[in-house]
Amino acid sequence: MGCESAPDFGFNRNVEIFDSSLRDGAQGEGITFSVQDKISVVEALDELGVSWIEAGNPGSNPKDMEFFRRVKNIRLKYAKLCAFGATRKKGIKPGEDANVKSLLDAETEGVVIFGKSWDLHVTEVLRVSLEENLSMISETVDFFKQAGKTLIYDAEHFFDGWQANPEYALSSIKAALESGADRIVLCDTNGGCFPDTVQAGVEAVMKLAESVNRASVVVGIHAHDDAGMASANTVMAVKSGCRHVQGTLVGFGERCGNTSLAAVIPSIELKMGLRCLPEGKLSSITEITRRVAEIANVTVPGGLPYAGAHAFSHKAGMHADGILKVRKSFEHIDPALVGNDRRFLMSEVGGRSAIAERIKKFDPSITKDHPAAAALAAELKKLESEGWQFEGADASFELLVRRELRKYKTLFEIEGYRVVSEHPVGNNLTCSHAWVKVLVDGQTEIAAAEGDGPVNALDGALRRALKHFYPELENIRLSDYKVRVIDGKDATAAQVRVLIESTDGSSSWTTVGVSSDIIEASRIALVDSIEYKLIRDIERRFKEFI
């Protein structure tokens, strides 16, 4: 199989994508999925158009068996499910191994079996002979092929094993090939290999497959990021002939994580000219990556290539000016190809070109020489000298623009608020209470709330007061909260900057507040967060109406 090969994976695919978010990804620190979460992830990945979804290990987790029972009722358009497990245990037949049988009970179209390629693991971890390990591989693969399953064989620690004892590592691959494995996946399980090792290892397996008359077998790559090489190793493997790519969409997984499919799929499609997803699906990859991250209760890394919030962000004035003149001067692809957006970060080094570009959303006639651009540039410099920063707070910057252009109406006012904390309460616990009085269209509403801290209590009281007028606020929550002391020379009287990230489940936005009082800084950011959400919803409803 050479680089020109194009196996028929359906929908004119050249490379099939295998997502392991629900198995390898679930082994990442802080990642936990409920059964419903797993079903939601499956639906999202199928919408993206991946080929395979590795959905769990039914032999080691009763929750996974419940998932496999429920997911049978979900009709998938593009993806096929597979269950994951080990080769048979030593000394018994596959049909007598409870874990092996559980993979059949999952009733998935595909089965993933992992086996040992590194002699160190065979003799020191499994504590079996090298010959017994080969039998465990071949007998388990044959068992599932006899059962009519598509068999994906994961050669665990292949590259480490190949470097330590190439003859034995290749003999383990040969055992799987000769038993009928449909996919041979080479795993950099420890994540420490470099691309040249991956290239040589893939080429060695290609030659082996040809020597045993299995030249058409699909060879795959499974990389971890412990040396920061997962994407590079995956791309090199594809360049070397792999046509099956494993990873997790967001990149979470064991230790430093797996290959981020959101980062490599666009490279394979846009840079290498190979099709991974059904036509038209690449432009949804950013939105679906963020959706899967939300289900997993993590944040998409800002610097994630292609899908991260910073992927097409420009701060320096020279960069912004260059982008506006010639897109490719500072962007390697058009952000729209992956469903992302270009962002001009607003700061004192951003320049009027970037400011004018942001203002055009509200008034297309504004140029960098317009008085409004000059006024905003001056206001930005003034605010930043006081400790404000808007480069990570797009929502607050948009409200600032609206105020400058007089395209802004205050939707509510806080007439008064009070926050009280008690220490301790009961079993040495702390408790905070907040009271808020708001004015909306001449009507007042008073509400109180209890919280784990003063900001949590204030947030609860404010939204409780406003829900009477704006019930849509029920759906928003704070997803991140950061406090930064601007200048420590004033000790506890120093100015602080509060950044709040909010989400309504489908999108996220960030606001900022600055004050020498941390509660007041939080209040400013909270108010901006709520107003931004309300204004955006009003404008969306207006567009739908007209």
Q: What is the pLDDT of residue 8?
A: 61
Q: What is the pLDDT of residue 259?
A: 98
Written as one letter, the residue type at 321 is D
Report which DSSP code applies to 258. B
Which residue spans within 239-342 are E strands per DSSP?
244-247, 313-314
DSSP string, 52-114: EEE---TTT-HHHHHHHHHHTTPPPSS-EEEEEEEPPPTTS-GGG-HHHHHHHHTT-SEEEEE
Greatest C-alpha distance within the chain = 83
Q: What is the dihedral of CA 90, 96, 97, 101, to 10 degrees?
A: 150
CA pair distance 242, 221, nearest whole angstrom: 7
Cis-peptide, bond into residue 424, ω within 30° of zero: yes
Please classify residue 143 by burial: count the beta carbons closer than 10 Å to its beta carbon, then call 0-12 exposed, 13-18 middle and 19+ buried: buried
Structural contact between residues 496 and 485, judged by C-beta atoms closer than 8 angstroms = yes
pLDDT block averages, 10 residues each, the chain of length 546: 51 91 95 92 97 92 87 94 96 95 95 98 96 98 97 98 98 98 98 98 98 96 98 98 98 97 98 96 95 88 92 69 68 93 61 68 76 81 82 84 82 93 64 92 94 89 92 87 75 79 86 92 95 89 58
CA pair distance 336, 50, nearest whole angstrom: 20
Give the 3-state secondary structure of residue 367. Answer: coil
The pair of structure tokens assigned to 346 is: 């607003």
How many CB atoms within 10 Å of residue 167? 8
Give which of 500, 517, 506, 409 is closest to 462, Cα–Cα. Answer: 500
Report which DSSP code applies to 487. -
What phi, psi does 53 have (nearest 5°)?
Answer: -125, 115
Written as one letter, the residue type at 275 is R
Q: Which CATH number fits domain 16-295: 3.40.1160.10, 3.65.10.10, 3.30.1300.10, 3.20.20.70?
A: 3.20.20.70
b vs e for 409-424, b when ≥16 Cβ sit within 10 Å of the residue's Cβ?
A: eebbebeebebeeeee
The pair of structure tokens assigned to 321 is: 């000016």
The pair of structure tokens assigned to 81 is: 């499910």
Structural contact between residues 176 and 184, judged by C-beta atoms closer than 8 angstroms = yes
**pTM of structure:** 0.72
- Ranges of H-type helices in 106-211: 119-120, 130-146, 158-164, 166-178, 195-211
Q: Could you give the strand order of the β-sheet that contains 496-503, starting from the edge strand earlier in sequence? A: 477-485, 496-503, 508-515
Inter-CA distances, 49 with 13, 223, 244, 431, 470, Å = 11, 21, 14, 47, 37
Structural contact between residues 106 and 69, judged by C-beta atoms closer than 8 angstroms = no
As assigned by CATH, the class of the 413-545 domain is: alpha beta
Which run of H or E residues covers position 261?
helix 261-266
Q: Give CA angle at 497 (493, 498), nearest 5°.
A: 120
Q: What is the pLDDT of residue 310?
A: 85
Q: What is the dihedral of CA 355, 356, 358, 361, to 10 degrees?
A: 160
The residues with which 311 forms a beta bridge, in sequence order, are none
CA pair distance 277, 48, nearest whole angstrom: 7
Which run of H or E residues covers position 503?
strand 496-503
The residues with which 224 forms a beta bridge, in sequence order, are 258
CA pair distance 136, 279, nearest whole angstrom: 40
CA pair distance 244, 166, nearest whole angstrom: 22
Structural contact between residues 172 and 155, judged by C-beta atoms closer than 8 angstroms = yes
CA pair distance 164, 162, nearest whole angstrom: 6
Q: Where are the domains of the chain?
A: 16-295, 313-385, 413-545
Give which of 467, 505, 447 is closest to 287, Cα–Cα. Answer: 505
